[in-house]
Structure 1
């Protein structure tokens, strides 16, 4: 019996996963409303994943649309034991890879900036934008698997277990790659700052 069992939160922690599994099972059976609920639940996560891999709003929006279209078409083959988000990330991974391979010209970074907050002064905004530019540049220099793990872990806040389900790699491998990616990012950020 763990601490969660004593607090009574273990069952409530499983409830969202059970509800999602139920929605996914119904969607796999052709229930469009269930799929719409899954769409609403995971739209932002898929978009953020695409945005951090492709770095433009337009590309991320296109990929997100394509991912959900492909997911809808593939729903009859969805395996309910697998987390639905892992299913979506698997599709997103392939769609992003296709986009990157197509070698289409990318928009400038200025076009890719999501709407910055006007609450801070211009200097603070400039510093944040420069930091974001340096971080994106550093992430882009990681290997594709390192990029994926950093995005899923640090930006999406996914657990090692969830990332293992998405990538099909053992959790220990994910932890090792994540540690090496963070070390590489620190070095790349130092290099970027020195420029």
Structure 2
């Protein structure tokens, strides 16, 4: 096969969408959908910093050795994982709740009846409840569109927020796929890279 520079791909545009699935029935998207439109039941997470999104599929293996060979005769899978890492730049309800791992609740005034004060509070539990979510990552280069869908996931790590004068607040999240009927997720594309019979 000859070298083809037209097959070199970039990801100049994209979006992250999330659906909180605890107690909810969410149907992960089966198609590429429409550019800049969240899949049904999902919410957009907004701007991501210029480092983009990192997708990391990983498989850990263990060699199986035999008396008759100085080299492993096969490898056995000991674990499989798929993670998505991104640093969100928009400060909104969903990004902050994902980052802090809790929900905003309006502070109420009690004289004489409860009235909303316009102030919101987010309680950081000493025994936080890990919430399940579903994640969709879209990226494209012109008409070539790609979508990665993780039906079941949880946030496994959070970065630190730096409060500085010259840079906006950022919310770094690492999201790990959970087993979903034997799958970690799937990738969809309309790229013409596939050889058809």
Q: TM-score range by the shorter chain?
A: under 0.3
The structure number with the bigger radius of gyration is: 2
| Structure (1 or 2) with the greater helix fraction | 1
Ranked by relative contact order (alpha carbons within 8 Å, sequence separation 6 or more), the top structure is 2
More strand by share: 2
Give me the TM-score of the superposition, normalised by structure 1. Answer: 0.24
